[in-house]
């Protein structure tokens, strides 16, 4: 019996390792769910601005057409490490060799073309709620932009967060394509559109929702505000309980950058507002309608 005990322990340990390997494996989209082309670049421009792609992947402070040169932007410095936004231009150092399926799995499953997990500094936990059609349109739009040479620096991440395989377990806890807020069946269409834009491509919850110790968003405090990811103060809440502006005030702020008190947008919201200003008026109104329709306790 004593001779069998080490062998039994070894088998149990091996089984645990194998189970962990299976649990943390990337889970790509199935053939029936992955986006199919061709997408429409014209429609993709709307998703590009809603998603704020230029805010991370264009050079810091870029203006005008320079915001369409997506060679990689400023690093995101967090308690988990420093993350470098990659080149997502259609050049050889960007996504030139990607298929639409590669892009869709990156956007909605956080999986790189080589099969590795992406870190959730890339907000795929929000993009998971996007439609396949919008992903295809966004891909078509990105392919129409200027090619930029050069790769971004490598991420700088310490142990144990540098073990990418472990992100598979994190995804099982936090990655979902289900809406955060359940709307009543008779919710107006603008509120439904606003929910999609805020919870999906707009990824507002990535900054405005507090996170737990392992970086997962707290759905019970959805959009209630919390610490800035880079440790630079706090991100304000944008729920009815924390933001007292009217829907018209919110829509106007997203369009012009001016608050009801005639103050101007500042901090990281400068980039966000620049993106939102590119959207149609109806989309900004829908975002405002959704924020005002959130449950009173949120």
pLDDT digits (tens, 9 = 90+) for 173-210: 999 999 999 999 999 999 999 999 999 999 999 999 99
**Does residue 298 lie in a domain region?**
no
Instruction: Please work out, in degrees rounded to the nearest 5, the angle formed at the alpha carbon of residue 108 by the alpha carbons of 105 and 110.
Output: 65
How big is the chain by its Cα radius of gyration, in Å?
21
**Does residue 50 lie in a domain region?**
yes
**Does residue 166 lie in a domain region?**
yes
* Shared domain check, 215 and 132: no
* Shared domain check, 281 and 218: yes
User: What local confidence, expressed as pLDDT, does residue 5 receive?
Assistant: 60
* Shared domain check, 282 and 224: yes
**Does residue 183 lie in a domain region?**
no
Q: Are 235 and 226 in contact (CB under 8 A)?
A: yes
Tokens of 14: 């091996």
Q: Are 138 and 39 in contact (CB under 8 A)?
A: yes
Q: Residue 118 has what DSSP assignment? A: P
* Shared domain check, 213 and 166: no
pLDDT digits (tens, 9 = 90+) for 102-143: 999 999 999 999 999 999 999 999 999 999 999 999 999 999
What pLDDT band is residue 18 in, cutting at 50, 70 and 90?
low
Q: Residue 76 has what DSSP assignment? A: E
Which phi-psi region, left, alpha or beta, contains residue 136 (left: φ > 0; alpha: ψ -120 to 50)? alpha
Distance CA 181, CA 185 (A): 12
* Shared domain check, 216 and 119: no
User: What local confidence, expressed as pLDDT, does residue 151 receive?
Assistant: 93
How many domains does the chain fold into?
2
Tokens of 201: 């491509």
* Shared domain check, 110 and 204: no
pLDDT at 296 over 80: no
State whether the Cα torsion 250-255-256-257 is positive or negative: positive
**Does residue 26 lie in a domain region?**
no
Domain C-terminal end among 148, 174, 200: 174
Domain C-terminal end among 117, 142, 174: 174
pTM (predicted TM-score):
0.90
CATH code of the domain containing 193 = 1.10.760
Instruction: Give the residue numbers spanning the domain of 156.
Output: 41-174
* Shared domain check, 121 and 222: no
Helix (H/G/I), strand (E/B), else coil: 2: coil
How are beta strands 226-227 and 81-83 bridged, if at all? unpaired
* Shared domain check, 242 and 164: no
CA distances (Å), origin 51, targets 54, 169, 279: 9, 26, 11
Helix and strand numbers (H, E) in the chain are 12, 4
Tokens of 61: 């402070």
Phi and psi at 274, nearest 5°, equal -60, -35
In terms of DSSP H, where are the helices of the chain? 4-23, 41-51, 53-57, 100-109, 124-127, 132-143, 167-174, 189-199, 205-208, 247-256, 269-276, 281-293
**Does residue 179 lie in a domain region?**
no
Name the percent of the chain lying above pLDDT 70: 91
Cα 113 off chain centre by: 18
**Does residue 5 lie in a domain region?**
no
pLDDT at 17 over 70: no
**Does residue 35 lie in a domain region?**
no
CA atoms within 13 Å, Cβ hemisphere of 106: 18
State whether the Cα torsion 187-193-199-204 is positive or negative: negative
User: What local confidence, expressed as pLDDT, does residue 123 receive?
Assistant: 96
User: What local confidence, expressed as pLDDT, does residue 92 receive?
Assistant: 96
* Shared domain check, 148 and 228: no
* Shared domain check, 135 and 88: yes
* Shared domain check, 144 and 99: yes
pLDDT at 4 over 90: no
Domain C-terminal end among 174, 205, 221: 174
pLDDT at 8 over 60: no
* Shared domain check, 158 and 230: no
State whether the Cα torsion 184-185-188-191 is positive or negative: positive
């Amino acid at each position: 019996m004593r001779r069998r005990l080490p062998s039994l322990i070894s088998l149990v340990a091996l089984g645990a390792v194998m189970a962990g390997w299976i649990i943390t494996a990337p889970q790509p989209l199935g053939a029936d769910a992955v986006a199919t082309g061709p997408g429409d670049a014209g429609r993709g421009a709307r998703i590009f601005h809603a998603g704020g792609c230029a805010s991370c992947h264009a050079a810091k402070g870029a203006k005008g057409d320079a915001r369409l040169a997506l060679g990689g932007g400023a690093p995101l410095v967090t308690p988990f490490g420093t993350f470098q936004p990659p080149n997502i231009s259609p050049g050889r150092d960007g996504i030139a060799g990607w298929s639409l399926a590669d892009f869709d799995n990156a956007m909605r499953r956080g999986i790189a073309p080589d099969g590795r997990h992406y870190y959730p500094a890339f907000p795929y936990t929000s993009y998971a709620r996007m439609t396949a059609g919008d992903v295809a349109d966004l891909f078509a739009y990105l392919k129409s932009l200027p090619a930029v040479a050069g790769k971004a620096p490598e991420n700088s991440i310490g142990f144990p967060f540098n073990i990418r395989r472990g992100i598979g377990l994190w995804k099982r806890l936090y990655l979902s394509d289900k809406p955060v807020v359940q709307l009543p069946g008779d919710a107006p269409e603008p509120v439904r559109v606003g929910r999609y834009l805020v919870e999906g491509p707009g990824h507002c919850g990535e900054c405005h929702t507090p996170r737990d110790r392992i970086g997962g968003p707290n759905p019970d405090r959805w959009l209630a505000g919390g610490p800035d990811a880079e440790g630079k103060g706090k991100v304000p809440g944008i729920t009815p309980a924390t933001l007292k502006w009217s829907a018209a005030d919110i829509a106007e702020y997203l369009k012009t950058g001016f608050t009801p008190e005639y103050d101007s947008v500042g901090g990281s919201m400068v980039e966000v507002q620049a993106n939102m200003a590119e959207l149609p008026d109806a989309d900004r109104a829908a975002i405002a309608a959704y924020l005002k329709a959130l449950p009173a306790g949120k």
